[in-house]
Amino acid sequence: MSKIFMNGKLVDKTDAVISVYDHGFLYGDGIFEGIRIYNAKVFKLHEHIARLYESAKHIDLAIPLSIAEMCKAVEETVIANSKKEGYIRLIVSRGVGNLGLDPRKTTNPQIIIIVDDISIYPEEMYEKGMEIITATTIRNIPNALNPRIKSLNYLNNILAKLEANRAGVPEAIMLNHLGEVAECTADNIFLVKDGVLKTPAIHCGILEGITRNTVIDLAKVEKIAVEECVLTRHDVFTADECFLTGTAAEVIPVVKCDGRSIGLGLPGEITKLLRDRFRKFISV
């Protein structure tokens, strides 16, 4: 049976329970990270934990473990579940409180580490590419709820995901409040135009993805020009290539958006190159 880390202890999956008064459950008051396991190694663990603690600092949530202790807890939970390939969901909630919003009335932040399997898209989609749409639901305005906080409240993304579901496609682009391309519901987005790799800049209101940053680094190694810039739907429609990146998705090509073919309507050469380089990178 799967073992779940809960506040310093490994418990059986059936015994991993929290109070209904936990503010993570009541109000989405908490943060999380999704992390991959490749070849029994935790991928980019320190980068993920650093982002977790950055999110915690932004929402004034004191995590009752040091960064080193958190890294150790993650690694020990992976070992306890004997996972060579898998997915980690690391959650920190504000803790138990009353039915009011006030965080000062909560106690004991909850630390939960889940190790399990994950499969977002079928392998065929990685070979042939996927179709996406542009959602009418815009990304949260950064000054209201900054997307760089990986919070437990994903309703903004879920509303856009519902639009994708209704359109019969697996993903949707979310625009920011200025009408610029931000990201998809669960993935960062990249375009290729005239050999240049382009992706929305951080100030466009996106989550700074760990996989996103890894792909940018791999592109630079391959001497591919990279621009973190403002992109619009025009750029998507006129791109030569498009692909998405994410912890669960890894690198997946996009061949159609809003019913329009992107480029030749097939995964592009730079997309295939970076997907290959990423798979080699994670296998080391």
Neighbouring C-beta atoms of residue 24, cutoff 10 Å: 25
Among candidate residues 179, 165, 31, the one with its CA nearest the CA of residue 93: 31
Active site residues: 150
Residue for token digits 């792909």?
Answer: 215
Q: What is the pLDDT of residue 25?
A: 96
pTM of the model: 0.95
Q: Are residues 38 and 5 in contact, defined by beta-carbon separation less than 8 angstroms? A: no
What is the sign, positive or negative, of the torsion defined by CA atoms of 222, 121, 253, 232? negative
Give pLDDT tens digits for 116-131: 998 889 999 999 999 9
Query: What pLDDT sits at residue 1?
Result: 74
CB atoms within 10 A of CB 150: 21
Write phi, then psi, for 170 (nearest 5 degrees).
-85, -15
Provide the pLDDT for residue 284.
75
CA 70 remoteness from chain centre? 19
- The owner of tokens 């856009």 is 160
Per-residue pLDDT at 22: 97
Best CA proximity match to 109, nearest among 42, 76, 141, 64:
64
CA distances from 28 to 40, 95, 150 (A): 31, 11, 11
Q: Which domains does the chain have, with CATH numbers?
A: 3-116 (3.30.470.10), 123-283 (3.20.10.10)
Tell me the helices (H) and strands (E) count for the chain, helix number first.
8, 15
Instruction: Give the closest residue to 272 by CA, choosing from 228, 224, 234.
Output: 224
Ranges of the chain with pLDDT below 70: none
Check: CB of residue 28 under 8 Å from CB of residue 97.
Answer: no
